[in-house]
Amino acid sequence: MAEVGTLHEALVDELKDLYNAEKQLTKALPKMAKNATSAPLRQALISHLKETQTQVRRLEQAMRLLDEKVEGKLCDGMQGILKEGNKMMEEVEAGPVLDACLIAGGQRAEHYEIGAYGTCIVWEKQMGHREVVRLLTQTLNEEKAADKKLSKLAESGINAAADFGMEEEEEE
């Protein structure tokens, strides 16, 4: 965190962090979609990429509303989550297990974002920035919906298919 002495400065720092996190995701989601073998998972990842691009624009709008320069700062948290995801994609064979792992990695990213957006919204409310609260709440709701969608995909057969593959290996 840069030199921060006020809640406004902490908020701006957090928004810059989120901006970079979302930008990192716009680069990672196509690779995740390419590696997904489940068509519904691949479609969900592509769909979330479009949402993420909109979320980047919302963050730009929020920073402009706050009279702040639109810029990011390296988000170490998202960078670590994505680094783990890249390693997993290299180590796990294509198929249902990889799909289950892609869902897990996606949910890690969503949970990180849910926490960060939730914090920013509470701070924004404290400072009376209603329009920014509205923008960030839209994004928070999308992140929560993406997390639920990933859970549904996992529970709709992807995890069972991954587990079935493991059971076959154990029987051999």
Task: Single out the residue of 114, 117, 101 nearest to residue 148, CA to CA.
Answer: 114
Q: How far is CA 105 from CA 18, 39, 49, 131, in A?
A: 18, 17, 15, 31
Which H, E and C letters describe 92-153, residue by residue? CCCCHHHHHHHHHHHHHHHHHHHHHHHHHHHHHHHHCCHHHHHHHHHHHHHHHHHHHHHHHH
Average pLDDT, the chain: 92
What local confidence, expressed as pLDDT, does residue 134 receive?
Answer: 97
Structure tokens, 156:
């709709």
C-beta separation of 53 from 62 below 8 A: no
**Domains defined along the chain, listed by start:** 7-171 (1.20.1260.10)
Of the chain, the percentage scoring pLDDT greater than 70 comes to 94
Render pLDDT for 113-144 as a digit per residue (tens, 0 to 9): 999 999 999 999 999 999 999 999 999 999 99
Q: What confidence category does residue 15 fall into, taking pLDDT thresholds of 50, 70 and 90?
A: very high
What local confidence, expressed as pLDDT, does residue 165 receive?
Answer: 55
What local confidence, expressed as pLDDT, does residue 111 receive?
Answer: 97
Average confidence (pLDDT) over 86-112: 95
Count of helices and strands (H, E) across the chain: 6, 0
